[in-house]
Amino acid sequence: MDIHQTAIISPKAKIGQGCKFGPYCIIEDDVEIGDDCVFDAFSVVRSGTSMGSGNHLFEGAVVGGHPQCLGLKRSSGRVAIGDNNLIREHCTVHRSMKDDGVTEIGSDNMLMVNVHVAHDCRVGSRVLISNNTMLAGHVTVEDRAVISGAVGIHQFCRVGTMAMVGGQAHAVKDIPPFMLVDGKTTEVVGLNIVGITRNGVGAEDRKILKEMYRILYRSGLPWKEILRILGEQYNIGAGKELVRFLNTTKRGIARARRTRDGAPAETADSAE
């Protein structure tokens, strides 16, 4: 290991091979770190954190901080992080507010400068979260989603796989998989065609998703009827992922920029 003379590394921490610790970084008790991780100056890993191999915490990043909840005693919940994540300057990741709970971040993600991941969040793998974005408690971000800068996501909301959220959006409802959300209005403006194509979604699946989009956001059918049609006719391939997400929404889904009277973006608000 390469440890700067000013770094403070707890002898009770479990640390893999080949790690590097920069000036004034702090690794507390009850921490597990895999091989080949890098911790730049003033980065902090708090007790109750475990991470895999190849992670890089940049200057001032703090992982494992206590939840920001009024009246909550110091939590013994945990943070679990996978492999090969880039956690840039001044990011904060807070541990679960439940003693047996976990805030989870998968692998191969990039959290840009000043991103906040609150208690009990679930961030998948190959996710990109841009500068100054804030995930409130219990938010879920699924694999390969892209969240632009200065976005705020309300507690308990979900962002589906391969969705892209525009800058300065303020999400208060679930954002379905494969969708493109305008930052100014936080409304769905179509499929994230560029993103899903780059992620290997083939032409046939893209065709299915376009048909599903029209039914979901343009048909004007009642919410339960939309779920029935999508489940019966499109519960295959990429469509299966969208069906799963829609059937499990509790907050409702983001509405489309253009909707007809009675469109599902309106009626889904009360979906259970």
The domains of the chain are located at 2-138, 196-270
Name the percent of the chain lying above pLDDT 70.
94
Contact 191, 217 (CB under 8 A): no
pLDDT digits (tens, 9 = 90+) for 98-109: 999 999 999 999
> How do strand 179-181 and strand 188-191 relate by DSSP bridges?
antiparallel
Q: Among residues 40, 120, 174, 205, which one is catalytic?
A: 120
36 has catalytic annotation = no
Q: What pLDDT, in 10s, does the model give residues 250-264?
A: 999 999 986 454 444
Find the mean pLDDT for residues 36-51: 98
CATH of region 196-270: 1.20.1180
120 is catalytic: yes
Out of 66, 94, 119, 138, the active site residue is 119
Our answer to whether residue 154 is catalytic in this structure is no
Summarize the confidence of residues 56-75 as an average pLDDT. 91
Please tell me whether the overall predicted TM-score, pTM, comes out greater than 0.85 for this model: yes
Residues with Cβ < 8 Å from 180, sequence gap 6 or more?
163, 164, 166, 188, 189, 190, 191, 192, 193, 195
201 phi, psi to nearest 5 deg: -75, 120
Mapped onto helix, strand or coil, the DSSP state of residue 227 is: helix
Both structure tokens of 1: 């290991």
For residue 267, pLDDT beyond 50: no
pLDDT band for 211, please (50, 70, 90 cuts). very high
Residue range 2-138 forms a domain whose CATH class is mainly beta
